[in-house]
Chain A
Amino acid sequence: MLATVLYEQDDHRWIMFGRDANKPDGIIDTNQYLIQSGNQAILLDPGGIELFAPMLSAVLKYVPAEQITHLFASHQDPDIISSLGLWDQALPKAELYSPWLWESFIRHFGMESIRFRAIPDEGMTIQVGHTQLQFIPAHYLHSSGNFHVWDAKAGILMSGDVGAAMEPTDAPLWVDNMERHAPKMKKFHQRWMPSNDAKLDWIRRVRQLNVKVMAPQHGRLFKQPQVGEFLDWFETLPVGIAIK
């Protein structure tokens, strides 16, 4: 599994894991993120059960297991958190932050030791090591209870399914040309995102942040100026197209 350091400043690091060439056929490729700060770390959308072993192995290259104190699941999908039953045995003292809406659903993946911390609809801020992280509402993008993670110090927004594109595992890591990249995202956003109102509300709030890197859960990541170009493109894209 490919691991890329996105940001490093003192003991504050963002690492992206993904592009696993050995993943079983037929399962969607996903990006997982680790934020480390001091002697604590949080795993964002740790992934599906099939990826658990390579993911844990990749993570342990950067941080010992006991320092992974937090997990975050942006929503309830299996590619996000179906590995929970195994993380539960690997990190019994960790806390899982996830939308309150999905608690009783996510527990179906198996959770005996990890503690569930419900994120309220309006979002919340937590402290991981010396770093403050903000869980930003992204409801209906695509899941009805959905959050993104904003790290103001690093300027990185983990944007879940927003900005996602389905590409081969050998695709480049960064979007370098929005015009060429947009067609790869179009159908995904139009079909998976149900609400234009939710989309516009999210864009309005994200424009107020100083996003240097936008990091989706599938496909390439965005730097400036592509972040701004993405927001402009997304703003004009009609979504929820399955309703004719």
Chain B
Amino acid sequence: MSAPVFITAASISAELHQAMMEARGLALTAKNARALAVRAGSRTVGFRAITDFIEELASAIIQQSQAINNDAEHLSNQAVSAWRSDMANERFHWVRAQNSTHADSISGRILACEQRSGSLNQELQHGLRRLIDQLEESRKHIRTANLIATSSHVEASSAGDFRGQLEVIADNIRETAERIGGHLNRANALLSQNHRERKAAC
């Protein structure tokens, strides 16, 4: 059985928060790389150009992570409302089945609750679909980061005395991209499982 959506969404939000922190580290790496490239002079012109890409990439990942984080939090709140509404509805049905003298007087509330649950659950379904798309978009950034890491290694190899330091930076980019990718994969796995099980339950 899958975790309730509000837990899945909160867990996704937490993963994306971690991804965002890593992306901030990537932005710092880009700044260090730029400073080093300036010191290294004409031998690292290619590397200097790459640092612009790294900064842009870091900024894009941060923005995307923030957006997904916000969406996931909103989704978690909606899921709590849906859960509450479902819980109330379940109890109302139990109460009506007891055939109390005035049990029918809650029929209107049952209908209102079912409508609210239906609309909230539909919104949740759309929200989950949107999160899947956003995560897929973020994964494209990771593929770009890996390409940049490879190019950085190539440029570092012609940087003479600065080769070692620039290689460290290139490795740093690759490792950070891997860690961000790990957070996105975990978020995606949580989401896909929940989405599959919700669809199967419908």
Contact = CB atoms under 8 A, between A and B. Distances in A.
A57 B95 CA distance: 5
Interface of A: 52-53, 56-58, 60-66, 85-86, 89-90, 92, 110
B162 interface: no
A57 B101 CA distance: 9
A64 B85 contact: no
Nearest to A86: B88
Given A89-B84, A90-B106, A90-B109, A62 B91 contact: no
Contacts of B98: 57
A65 B91 contact: no
Contacts of A92: 109, 112
B180 interface: no
B70 to A, nearest CB: 22
12 contacts: A53-B95, A56-B95, A57-B94, A60-B95, A60-B102, A61-B102, A62-B102, A64-B105, A65-B106, A86-B88, A89-B85, A89-B109
A101 B98 CA distance: 37
A65 B88 contact: no
B113 interface: yes
Contacts of B94: 53, 57
A140 B35 CA distance: 66
Contacts of B84: 85, 89, 110
Which of A62, A63, A89, A90 gathers most chain B CB within 10 Å?
A: A89
Contacts of A85: 84, 88
A60 B91 contact: no
B12 to A, nearest CB: 24
A86 B91 CA distance: 9
Interface in B77-94: 84-85, 87-88, 91-92, 94
Contacts of B102: 60-65
- Of the four ranges (under 10, 10 to 19, 20 to 34, 35 or more), the interface on chain B belongs to 10 to 19
A58 B100 CA distance: 7
Which of A52, A64, A65 gathers most chain B CB within 10 Å?
A: A65
Contact of B105 (A52, A58, A66, A89): A66
Smallest CB-CB A-B distances: 7 pairs: A64-B105, A60-B100, A64-B102, A89-B88, A53-B91, A65-B105, A60-B102
B105 A60 contact: yes
Contacts of A89: 84-85, 88, 92, 109, 112-113
Contacts of A53: 91, 94-95
Contact of A52 (B91, B101, B106, B112): B91
A134 to B, nearest CB: 28
Nearest to B80: A110
B181 to A, nearest CB: 39
Given A65-B109, A89-B113, A60 B103 contact: yes
A53 B92 CA distance: 7
B105 A57 contact: no
Contacts of A63: 102
B101 A56 contact: no
B99 to A, nearest CB: 9
Contacts of B92: 56, 89-90
A24 B85 CA distance: 22
Contact of A57 (B85, B103, B112): B103
B109 A60 contact: no
Given A85-B84, A89-B109, A61 B95 contact: no
B92 to A, nearest CB: 7
A110 B92 CA distance: 17
B96 to A, nearest CB: 9
